[in-house]
Amino acid sequence: MIEKTIIHISVFPEAGKTHSAEGDISALAGYLKALLAGFSSNMEFKHIVLTNLKSKQPVNFEEDGVLVIECWKRGSLTFFWSILKKIFQNPQWRIVHLQHEFNQFGNALTLPLTLLLLVYIRLIGRRKLVVTLHEVLDPKLLTSDFLRSVMIKYPASITQLIVRIYYFMIGILAHTLIAQDKAFVQILKSQYFVLAPVEIVRIGTTSVTPPPKNMSRHRWKLSENERVVLFFGTLDWRKGLDCLVDAWQLLPPDFGKLIISGGTPTRVGHTPEYRSWRKNLEDHAKQNPSILFLGFVADEDLPSLFGAADLAVLPYIVPQRVSAVFNQAASFGIPLIASSVFSDQAASVMLFDPTPTSLSKKIRGALTGQTQDLRRASEDFRENNSWQKSASHLSDIYLKLN
């Protein structure tokens, strides 16, 4: 059988890791690593990842049949030329798949260069081009208040125009676009008038068995008898952390332990606005000794972190069609609750309104009467959304391009 080579442009974890490092946080890294693992039984394809440098010297390695080549620098405008040089040096590479996020290559100045990169790949290099749009922004959301809240300082009218042009151009240049939800497809077609066909390939799940609870609790110095609630993900105001801390304050002092773990968002973590918000959140949380801030948690510690928890909570306040963290929590099969912004993907038993009162009530109910129902809902989601299913659909898309 002749292998078909697929070139992926994306951030990617270091050798032996499943997620990005603390100073290079991106959900794309873990996403692509897990997706390519879903191809493990498919011998039709050879996957090569062109990824970002993790240090001054590039490190290339092969892992689980995937060749990883570090060749571009995140935050540098030279990323454009570094990627093109690799592709043009290898004319046998016929299919190129860009895993796209607005901040993957750096700040807003990289956006026009991203379009230029696609122009060269499609029109000059004559390659088949696939683009996965991990975020599809509804232009109606791009108000002045929203942009200010996510620390984007451009006027709303200019931002909307740039985003419209950007999506439209990607829709012209790509042979196939991939979105992760049908609502994203509708936005691309009705709001941005993209011309390329759009396929849905959902974020997948992996079946993971965490260590026994007593071992996990010992690792984190937690009592075996106390209730433990876990938030895991990037520490960002959009994730509803203020709501979560306020909700926990409404519970009895001896109710249990709340663990807040996760890294700092790469795009805004250095800004004064983010630092001020983060300090206020942590200062507020310190008033309650039962709230534990862990910060960034390394790959090897994630199983015991989830194994120590009785309940995972996603209190997001911004509409979330897809979430890698939701899928990751479901992968461990632990009881999971999520705010109503997840209503299109989560079972109704998991949902609560993103207010402190509703969330505190949901946490109490989840740990005193709904634990088994929530566990079953989490396991059902895991079974119905495997990475193997996502990889199989993507295989069909690649085959159509040849």
Per the model's pLDDT, the better-predicted residue between 28 and 83 turns out to be 83
Task: Give me the mean pLDDT over the 53-58 stretch.
Answer: 89
Mean pLDDT, all residues of the chain: 89
69 has pLDDT over 90: yes
Q: Which two tokens stand for residue 70?
A: 């570090």
Name the band, by pLDDT with cuts 50, 70 and 90, for residue 265: confident
pLDDT score, position 1:
42
Q: What is the CATH superfamily name and number for domain 4-204+386-401?
A: Glycogen Phosphorylase B; (3.40.50.2000)
pLDDT score, position 315:
94
- 4: β partners: 45
Task: Give me the mean pLDDT over the 43-59 stretch.
Answer: 90
213-384, what's its fold? Rossmann fold (3.40.50)
d(CA 351, CA 282): 26
Task: Give me the mean pLDDT over the 217-221 stretch.
Answer: 94
Q: Which two tokens stand for residue 140?
A: 């109606």
pLDDT score, position 62:
94
d(CA 339, CA 121): 41
pLDDT score, position 21:
62
What are the residue boundaries of the structural domains of the chain, listed by start? 4-204+386-401, 213-384
pTM for the predicted model, two decimal places? 0.82
Query: With b meaning 16 or more CB within 10 Å and e meaning fewer, what string describes 360-370?
Result: bbbbbebbeeb
2 has pLDDT over 60: no
d(CA 335, CA 32): 25
Residue 384 CB-density burial (10 A; 0-12 exposed, 13-18 middle, 19+ buried): exposed
Cβ(73)–Cβ(52) under 8 Å? yes
Name the band, by pLDDT with cuts 50, 70 and 90, for residue 174: very high
pLDDT score, position 392:
92
Task: Give me the mean pLDDT over the 119-136 stretch.
Answer: 94
Counting other chains too, the contacts that 22-28 makes at CB distance below 8 Å and 24 or more residues apart are: 22/263, 22/296, 22/298, 24/52, 24/54, 24/74, 24/266, 25/234, 25/263, 25/264, 25/265, 25/266, 25/296, 26/101, 26/104, 26/266, 27/134, 27/234, 27/324, 27/325, 28/99, 28/101, 28/104, 28/134
Residue with tokens 């209730």: 227
Task: Give me the mean pLDDT over the 66-92 stretch.
Answer: 94
Task: Give me the mean pLDDT over the 153-181 stretch.
Answer: 91
d(CA 88, CA 393): 28
Per the model's pLDDT, the better-predicted residue between 233 and 98 turns out to be 98
Per the model's pLDDT, the better-predicted residue between 362 and 134 turns out to be 362
Q: What percent of the chain lies above the pLDDT cut of 70? A: 96
Least confident of 81-95, 136-150, 173-187, 256-270: 136-150
321 has pLDDT over 80: no
Domains 4-204+386-401 and 213-384 share a fold: yes
The runs of H, that is alpha helices, within 106-212 are 110-119, 144-149, 156-173, 182-190
Q: Which two tokens stand for residue 79?
A: 């990323």
pLDDT score, position 40:
74
Cβ(131)–Cβ(10) under 8 Å? no
d(CA 401, CA 86): 21
Q: Which two tokens stand for residue 44?
A: 């039709």
Residue with tokens 């030279």: 78
DSSP 3-state of 74: coil
Name the band, by pLDDT with cuts 50, 70 and 90, for residue 185: very high
d(CA 24, CA 269): 11
Q: CB atoms < 10 A from the CB of 193, how many?
A: 12
